[in-house]
Amino acid sequence: MKFRGHHLICLQFFRGEGYSENFVAHLHNLLKRVEEELEIEVTGAADDVCMICPYLKNGICCYKEGADEKIRDMDLKALELLKIREGIQVGWKDIREKLPEISGDWARLYCGDCDWKEACEKNPLWSQLMLRIS
């Protein structure tokens, strides 16, 4: 299984919302697998999450103008904050353990204008982490 940098962080807050029922079911399946201790290969490109996204066109995110470049920048920052690199295998729980250390920086850099912010805010883990940084 392959996840790009920002998905390693952002999917920790997934609460069953998405572009379509198919997309949500796909995410539930992926998360079930990684929570069962399946190792995740870190990638710097479209990953297993992106594969069913309606905005992925020829490996490029077309969600809105400039989205692909912004996402690639987010991926690089996620890897930097998590202190990991492309090509390695990581565990989902290992990433989750790093969230308290990085969540403040991540939230300041990316969450303020994120279209998924309201969905993340419904997740108890999000609330717990945001209380720690306020």
Mean pLDDT score, 77-94: 97
Q: Are 42 and 87 in contact (CB under 8 A)?
A: yes
Sequence-distant (≥ 6) Cβ neighbours of residue 77 within 8 angstroms: 5, 106, 109, 110
Q: State the pTM of this model.
A: 0.94
The domain tally of the chain equals 1
Instruction: Give the pLDDT band (50/70/90) at residue 60.
Output: very high
Out of 75-79, 80-84, 96-100, 125-129, pick the least confident: 125-129
What's the pLDDT at 62?
Answer: 96
Q: How far apart are CA 122 and CA 73, in angstroms?
A: 26
Q: Which residues, listed in sequence order, are joined to residue 2 by a DSSP beta bridge?
A: 41
Decide the pairing of beta strands 40-43 and 2-4.
Answer: parallel
| Residues comprising the chain, all counted | 134
Tokens found for residue 80? 């930097």
What tens digit of pLDDT does each residue of 2-32 get? 999 999 999 999 988 888 899 999 999 999 9
φ, ψ for residue 39 (rounded to 5)? -70, 150
Domain boundaries, position 104: 2-131
Instruction: Give the pLDDT band (50/70/90) at residue 134.
Output: low
Q: How much of the chain exceeds pLDDT 70, in percent?
A: 99
- Give CA separation, 67 vs 37, 71, 89, 103, 129, in Å: 31, 6, 26, 22, 26
If phi > 0 it is left, if psi is from -120 to 50 it is alpha, else beta; for residue 100 that is: alpha
What tens digit of pLDDT does each residue of 86-128 get? 999 999 999 999 999 999 999 999 999 999 999 999 989 888 8
